[in-house]
Structure 1
Amino acid sequence: MNDFQKELCANLRKFCLESIEPHMEHDDAEGKFRMDIFKGLGDYGVTGVTLPEEYGGAGLTYLDNCYVLEEIAKVSVPYAVTVSVSAMVQSILNEYGNQAQKEKYLPALTSGAEIGSFALSESHAGSDASSLKTTAKKVEGGYMLNGTKMWITSGGLAKTYIVMARTGGEGSKGVSAFIVRDGAKGFTFGKAEKKMGWKTSPTRELVFENCFVATEDMLLEEGKGFAVAMGGLDRGRVSIAAIGVGCAQRSLDEAVKYSLTREQFKQPIFDFQGLQFMLADMALEVMSSRLMVLSAAQFIDDKKTNSKLCSMAKLKATDAAMKVSTDAVQVLGGVGFTSEYPVERFMRDAKGLQIVEGTNQIQRVVIARHLRKEYEQHA
Structure 2
Amino acid sequence: MGQAQALTNKLGNSIYARLGLDGEQVRLVQAVADLAHEKFAPRAASFDEAAAFPAEDFDDLFAAGLNAAAVPAEYGGLGLGPYRGDVLTLWMITKEIAKADLSLARCWEGHANSLVLLDGMATEAQKSRWFKGVVQRGEKWVAWSGEPQSRAPGERSTFGTTVQAVEDGYIIDGTKAFCTSAGGADWALLLVNTAGPGGARHATGSHDGLLMLAGDLSDPSISIESEWWDPIGMRATVSHVVRFNRTYIPASNLVGKPGAYINDGWQTCFIPHYAASFLGAAEAAFEYAMTYIRKQAKESDPYIHQRVAEMAIDLETAHLWLRHVARMWETGDHAEARIAGSRARHLIEHLAEEVVQHAIRACGARSLNKPSPLERIFRDLAFYIRHDNDDHIAAMIGKSLLGQTHDQSFYKP
**TM surpasses 0.5:** yes
Please report how far the alpha carbon of residue 105 of structure 1 lies from its aligned counterpart in structure 2 after TM superposition: 1.4
| Paired residues of 2:94 and 2:105 also in contact (CA < 8 A) | yes
Match of 2:223 in 1: 188
**1:112–1:310: structure 2 CA closer, same or farther, 3 Å change rule?**
farther
Amino acid at match of 2:173: N
Match of 2:154 in 1: none
Please report how far the alpha carbon of residue 322 of structure 1 lies from its aligned counterpart in structure 2 after TM superposition: 2.2
Match of 1:138 in 2: 165
Match of 2:401 in 1: 371
| Paired residues of 1:43 and 1:112 also in contact (CA < 8 A) | no
Amino acid at match of 2:333: K
- Partners in 1 of 2:161 and 2:399 — Cα distance? 28
- Partners in 2 of 1:71 and 1:56 — Cα distance? 23
Match for 2:207 among 157, 166, 172? 172
Match for 1:258 among 292, 300, 324? 292
Amino acid at match of 2:301: F
| Paired residues of 1:86 and 1:109 also in contact (CA < 8 A) | no
Match for 1:41 among 44, 50, 61? 61
- The total of aligned residue pairs comes to 363
- Partners in 2 of 1:110 and 1:355 — Cα distance? 33
| Paired residues of 1:150 and 1:205 also in contact (CA < 8 A) | yes
Please report how far the alpha carbon of residue 375 of structure 1 lies from its aligned counterpart in structure 2 after TM superposition: 11
SS in 2 for 1:206: strand
Amino acid at match of 2:272: V
Match for 2:174 among 121, 136, 147? 147
SS in 2 for 1:271: coil
User: Where do 1:1-379 residues align within 5 Å?
Assistant: 1-60=21-80, 61-110=86-135, 113-124=138-149, 133-168=160-195, 170-192=205-227, 193-227=229-263, 230-231=265-266, 233-262=267-296, 268-305=297-334, 306-356=337-387, 358-373=388-403
| Paired residues of 2:234 and 2:384 also in contact (CA < 8 A) | no
Please report how far the alpha carbon of residue 29 of structure 1 lies from its aligned counterpart in structure 2 after TM superposition: 1.9
**1:111–1:73: structure 2 CA closer, same or farther, 3 Å change rule?**
farther
**1:314–1:122: structure 2 CA closer, same or farther, 3 Å change rule?**
same
Please report how far the alpha carbon of residue 133 of structure 1 lies from its aligned counterpart in structure 2 after TM superposition: 4.8
Q: TM-score, normalising length from structure 2?
A: 0.81
- Partners in 1 of 2:320 and 2:356 — Cα distance? 19
Amino acid at match of 1:350: L
Please report how far the alpha carbon of residue 162 of structure 1 lies from its aligned counterpart in structure 2 after TM superposition: 0.9
- Partners in 2 of 1:10 and 1:312 — Cα distance? 28
SS in 2 for 1:269: coil
**1:43–1:374: structure 2 CA closer, same or farther, 3 Å change rule?**
farther
Match of 1:129 in 2: none
Please report how far the alpha carbon of residue 225 of structure 1 lies from its aligned counterpart in structure 2 after TM superposition: 4.5
- 1:96-131 deviation digits (Å, cap 9, x = unpaired): 1111211121232356712111111113179xxxxx
Amino acid at match of 1:183: S
**1:373–1:110: structure 2 CA closer, same or farther, 3 Å change rule?**
farther
SS in 2 for 1:20: helix
- Partners in 1 of 2:246 and 2:63 — Cα distance? 37
**1:226–1:373: structure 2 CA closer, same or farther, 3 Å change rule?**
same
Please report how far the alpha carbon of residue 374 of structure 1 lies from its aligned counterpart in structure 2 after TM superposition: 8.2
Identity of aligned residues (%): 20
Cα-Cα RMSD: 2.4
- 1:316-348 deviation digits (Å, cap 9, x = unpaired): 222222221232122211211111321111111
Please report how far the alpha carbon of residue 240 of structure 1 lies from its aligned counterpart in structure 2 after TM superposition: 1.2
Q: TM-score, normalising length from structure 1?
A: 0.88
- Partners in 2 of 1:107 and 1:97 — Cα distance? 14
Amino acid at match of 1:181: D
